[in-house]
Structure 1
Amino acid sequence: MHNAFWDHLKEQLSATPPDFSCALELLKEIKEILLSLLLPRQSRLRSEVEDALAADLLQREAERGDLNIPRLSKCVLSMMTLLCAPVRDEAVQKLDGITDSALLLRGIFQVLGLMKMDMRNYTLQSRQPHLREHSILHERAHSSCGSVLFGSPQFVDRLKRSAHALTEDFDSRPEEAMLAVSEQVSQEIHQSLKSMGLAPLSSDNTASLMGQLQDIAHAQNCVRSVIDQRIHLFLKCCLVLGVQRSLLDLPGGLSLIEAELAELGQRFVNLTHHNQQVFGPYYTEILKTLIPLGQAPQTGVESL
């Protein structure tokens, strides 16, 4: 809370007669914090907190002008001593020496904030094994769904046909093309998961998937750049090693389009060889004029 609140609280408690309106709100919040720190089995202590800080009782005492802040603070401190972690013992003990009611309530509220943080940390630590196990099972479930879908040749072929048809105008209208692809892929996945009796993708996962697909429309998209580089690497390997040997060591992320790459690689090799046979003599003469005699590489055009 801001200093202005505590200054106002001090003014109210110092007035004649004292004004307990802020103190009542603060005591109500202190009660809620204390109750939040209790474990389910601590029913007796819960009853003590409820009785000592009962809102209607405090309201009546405030109206009579005899709300005893020091007594209530002592009661709260005794409860805090029972509930706090050992690391907070010293802080609670220091509060016991404060005689100013406003300062004491401020100190109580601050230490209770630390105790709430301690309880949150304890709860997280105690639940960590369960959360880890839940996370593992969750990831396995989603990974199984992906494995089932993309392990189905029919599903993969259907996606390929759809994507191929929808990206015919990719060069001229990439954003429109990828928007259509993202919608179609989302629909295909939804229908396939439903037909297989598997859990559907969450709305967040669906939105994330569609967003990633639509981002491919941008030339600087990292996935698009990586796949482009790997396809170029594969084609270079085809020229050096041949198509079949290159397919044995296919770069990551290209396995689902292996058949298409095999066809592309063979056409690329055939075209390159045809180009070599037709224009090889011309290339040789050009290279002779560019490379000094004796420095020509051991593998010339004929080696392609």
Structure 2
Amino acid sequence: MPLNDERPASTSSGEDQGSDVESSSERCDSITSTSDLDCSRESFTSDCSSKHCTPSSSPPKTLTLDGVLESVRDLSDLSLAHEIIVNHNFHLEPNSLPQDSLWKVVRDNVHKAFWDILESELNDDPPEYGQAIRLLEEIREILLSFLNPGANRMRTQIMEVLDMDLIRQQADKDTVDIQGLSSYIITTMGKMCAPVRDEEIKKLRESSDNIVTLFREIFRVLDLMKADMANFAIDNLRPVLQRQSVEYERAKFQSILEKTPNALDHTTSWIKSVLEEVLSATTPTGQPQGKRQQAVPGPFQILNAAFLRILTWDYNKSPLPETWMTDETRLREIQWKLQQCQAVNEVLLIVYSTIGGPIQGLPSLSDRLKRVTSVLLDGMHSPDFKLKEALEGVSAQICCELNKSLTERNYPALTPALQATFAGQICSITQKDNPIRTLVEDRVQQYFTALICDPKPQARLEQVPAGLTSVKTELAFIGAKFITLVNYNKTVYGPFYADIIRKLMFSGSPPAAHPPQTTAQDSVTSN
């Protein structure tokens, strides 16, 4: 943590795809090469000299407790680094627990007991300083942890003023100047803290509370300073991680694979099920049974279909592939926003197909209807969200808006019978076979398929299929987020995907109906 004029200042933080190639094992080899984050097309087709380009081959190892613990540490490092890289707003908050949680109750009770003991000891006659000395020793270690390696003068001063041996001798003689020590601690904190904490330090200096309450506040501010220091380090680390992100994440994941035998099981199962689906779709049906030849899909075709499946992943049926685990929160948010966006579009399609001409060409009305629907469907992904009731509210509110607009322009208001029909059509989108819902979902799949397959997806973000123009802005926003995740994931994990696809396609037999229990080493090292 910088001192005085070296206080931390915020550091500013600063995606494509190719077509299928010929049916041979070389198509899988092309996936294994990668360059930097901004050249994901080249990462699938060019030569690679990186030492982490291809997953290393090594015999399977016996799983041990130490190996599991090391894998957990690697996974923690990988998740943290990935979050810092992809989330420019990522920062740490001071440790806080949910209100009324058991952990918070236990922590608060333990802290209260400590401060009660401290107060009781200091109020004794003569005072006891056992707890106070332990407190000062902990504060000294925290202050020392804030110092830069070259801050020798400040380090020496802290060690001299907070000399525990000397303070213990003073305690034996009842000559410890607790107020003086607390004043020095606050002054030192003021020299070390970030500017955002100046007001907190000022309050500490002006505090008239008793010594126990003052020390409680000192520890609260020290916790804030710890978070500031960690965030300052993150801001400085982010540019380095961004330059080395692909190499770092791939190396970390390779390390996990070497220690955990089944670390690619879900990824293998995901790609295998997609391959089976693609093979089934590309098998000709017009030839006699004995003469049918199965068209072999290319690796890009397989991966494109696999990435599209991630967009609609059913988290209740199976966990995400291991290669996507660091993005689960972002993928869930994308999926929730897309579901809401689709529902809004379905409602608006019903409105305009039912009412027709009298409400065409009125952008302000369209915006108002979209806004009302979006608000009432907000949070529809929640388990306790009652979609049918919400849609009933949507239909009622839309009927009010329509009647208001129609009467203002001398059109007759909607009849009760038409309003009832209208409400029934809107509520019917909860049924999976509803034609409007099916149409919208198919068009959305077309949109994201085009984005995933296009070498320059940014140019296609605004090119939505017919029937989705009402939510074009929202779709473009969701599409940009999703394609960024896809291209980065492809760049990092391309070598692992290549090995899995090579094994599944060229192992000498077609994929089975159910994926075998494939170990991580098999998935990574097979040719």
Q: TM-score, normalised by structure 1?
A: 0.57
1:54 to 148, 163, 173: 163
- The SS at the match of 1:210 is coil
8 Å contact kept, 2:204–2:218: yes
- State the match for 1:138 in structure 2: 248
Mapping 1:255-274, distance limit 5 Å: 256=502
- State the match for 1:252 in structure 2: 302
- Per the TM alignment, residue 91 of structure 1 is displaced from its structure 2 partner at its CA by 0.9
- Per the TM alignment, residue 135 of structure 1 is displaced from its structure 2 partner at its CA by 2.7
- Per the TM alignment, residue 65 of structure 1 is displaced from its structure 2 partner at its CA by 0.8
- State the match for 1:118 in structure 2: 228
- The SS at the match of 1:230 is helix
Q: Deviations over 1:198-241 (max 9, x none)?
A: xxx53x2135563534997xxxx54442222122112147859x
- State the match for 2:413 in structure 1: none
2:199 to 90, 93, 104: 90
Mapping 1:34-183, distance limit 5 Å: 34-96=143-205, 97-139=207-249
CA distance in 2, matches of 1:39, 1:10: 34
CA distance in 1, matches of 2:196, 2:212: 25
Q: Which runs of 5+ in 2 are unaligned?
A: 1-109, 304-499, 511-527
- State the match for 1:225 in structure 2: 273
CA distance in 2, matches of 1:22, 1:121: 31
- State the match for 1:212 in structure 2: 264
CA distance in 1, matches of 2:177, 2:214: 13
8 Å contact kept, 2:137–2:162: yes
* One-letter identity of the residue aligned with 2:262: M
- State the match for 1:12 in structure 2: 121
The structure-2 alpha-carbon separation of the partners of 1:114 and 1:142, relative to structure 1 and needing over 3 Å to count, comes to closer
- Per the TM alignment, residue 57 of structure 1 is displaced from its structure 2 partner at its CA by 0.8
- The SS at the match of 2:262 is helix
Q: Deviations over 1:100-137 (max 9, x none)?
A: 11111111111111111110110111111222333323
The CA RMSD measured in Å over matched residues stands at 3.3
- State the match for 1:268 in structure 2: none
Pair member with larger Rg? 1
Instruction: Count the aligned residue pairs.
Output: 199
The structure-2 alpha-carbon separation of the partners of 1:238 and 1:89, relative to structure 1 and needing over 3 Å to count, comes to farther
CA distance in 2, matches of 1:259, 1:104: 70
- Per the TM alignment, residue 75 of structure 1 is displaced from its structure 2 partner at its CA by 0.6
The structure-2 alpha-carbon separation of the partners of 1:142 and 1:122, relative to structure 1 and needing over 3 Å to count, comes to closer
* One-letter identity of the residue aligned with 1:91: E
- Per the TM alignment, residue 92 of structure 1 is displaced from its structure 2 partner at its CA by 1.1
Larger RCO: 1 or 2 (CA < 8 Å, sep 6+): 2
- Per the TM alignment, residue 46 of structure 1 is displaced from its structure 2 partner at its CA by 1.0
8 Å contact kept, 2:127–2:174: yes
Q: TM-score, normalised by structure 2?
A: 0.34
The structure-2 alpha-carbon separation of the partners of 1:238 and 1:208, relative to structure 1 and needing over 3 Å to count, comes to farther
Aligned-residue identity in percent: 31
